[in-house]
Chains A and B, each alone.
Chain A
């Protein structure tokens, strides 16, 4: 879930409204929270992020119930700042219906095109695409996996350090931990084979 002001329309003195929405997000999720300009909860105290908000913030939810509860509050309080929810359409439409919201605009994903040979292998892509602006380095993922090999027991600590490079707060720690538990040995072997 992302909230964002529209410059020139509702950005003036938006801090209090954004703060209210951010506190609502934090009340309904402890997964991940942050802002692309200020930082995320793995980089700084969430309370500090909330106080410094000026344009928007983002949060990640682990189930529909918490998302529904979260989007009901801004609707009822009518803070007047835009909110966008990303996810599976069926699920989001259902959440909106239960919250009494009719989305006026939707955006469909129509795939990846061009020289797709340049993409990282799927196992690394799973991580780097957690940021849609390409700010998670595939080389960092690769380096981190190689480091993990040298101290296998340290990999359990890596999930908590991993979200730091993703300033916006969109990466999903729960998902990353499950990736590690299921895939980490296979990932490392695959990275070695890539040899980039």
Chain B
């Protein structure tokens, strides 16, 4: 999210539910379609880890439902974030779904200012 105006990893349009390929945690997956970890890291402990995945607008509610179902079963704590384009047509349906699913939406967050660009030659 922080450098998306440069990398374009997060794009408008449709994607399946897929893990972000350049996320460091994704490299630890045995199967990137299911998120199953490699056997040698399954018993490792981490201070913090971030998983990123892209969803289409139509997949948002099922994904949130899955998160709502599995989160109480995990013996740890997680924060959930939603990244969106700022136009009302993009964020409002997403926020509506989030609220209807019972997730809180906090008044604080992050904004990418869009000042980055490709400089490497």
Contacts and interface: CB of A to CB of B under 8 A. Distances in A.
Interface of A: 2, 4-6, 8-12, 14, 17, 71, 74-75, 78-90, 92-93, 96, 101-116, 118-119, 133-135
Contact of A10 (B6, B74, B109): B6
B102 to A, nearest CB: 10
B114 A89 contact: no
A43 B43 CA distance: 35
A132 to B, nearest CB: 8
Contact of A82 (B107, B108, B115): B115
Interface of B: 1-7, 10, 47-48, 67, 71-72, 74-86, 91, 95, 98, 103-121
A196 B115 CA distance: 45
Contact of B82 (A83, A107, A119): A107
B76 A82 contact: no
What are the 9 tightest A-B residue pairs by CB atom distance, in nearest-first order? A82-B116, A6-B3, A10-B119, A113-B71, A109-B106, A103-B111, A110-B80, A104-B114, A107-B110
B84 A92 contact: no
- Chain B CB count within 10 A is highest, among A5, A71, A103, A116, for A103
Contacts of A88: 107-108
Nearest to B103: A110
A61 to B, nearest CB: 14
14 contacts: A75-B113, A80-B117, A83-B116, A88-B108, A102-B114, A103-B86, A104-B114, A108-B95, A111-B80, A113-B77, A114-B71, A114-B77, A118-B76, A133-B48
